[in-house]
Amino acid sequence: MKKLTGGLLLCLTLASLSSLSLAKDKAALNISNHDQHNTMMQQCIATALQRHPGAVIEVELENEDGKSIFDVDVLGKDGKVWEVECDAASGEVLEDKEEKEDVDDKK
C-alpha cells in the first residue's frame, strides 16, 4: 500500500511540475505575441502617418473574416480624416481611404 501511495504521490508531483512548465511556456508565448503585435501596430501607425502626415486619432485591432487588422485613423494636415488598415501579421496596407461621415452620425 505504501508503494502504491508513494507512486501515486510521485505521479501527481511530476504532473504538477509539468503543468507549471507548460503555463510558463504559454506565458512566454503570450508575451512574444504581444511584442510582435506591438511592433506591427507601430509599423502600421508609421505607415499611416507617412501617407497622411498629421495626428493619430484612434488605433483599433479588429478581426475581419478571421484576420487581425489594425485600423488607424489619422487627422491629416489637410483637415481630412483618413483610415488606413494594415494586416496585423504582415504590416501590409490593405485599405487607405478618406473616412466619410456616416448618415447615422448626423442624427
Burial class (CB in 10 A: 0-12, 13-18, 19+), 82: buried
For 97-103, the CB contacts below 8 A with 24+ separation are 99/73
Q: What is the pLDDT along the chain (107 residues), one digit of tens a residue?
A: 444 444 444 444 444 444 444 444 444 445 556 677 788 899 999 999 999 999 999 999 998 888 899 999 999 999 999 999 999 999 999 999 998 875 455 55
pTM: 0.64
Domain tally for the chain? Answer: 1
> Residue 74 maps to which CATH number?
3.10.450.40
CA dist., res. 63 & res. 16, Å (int): 36
CA end-to-end span of the chain, whole Å? 78
Of 88, 105, 102, the residue nearest 36 (C-alpha):
88
Q: Return the C-alpha cell found at 11.
A: 505521479
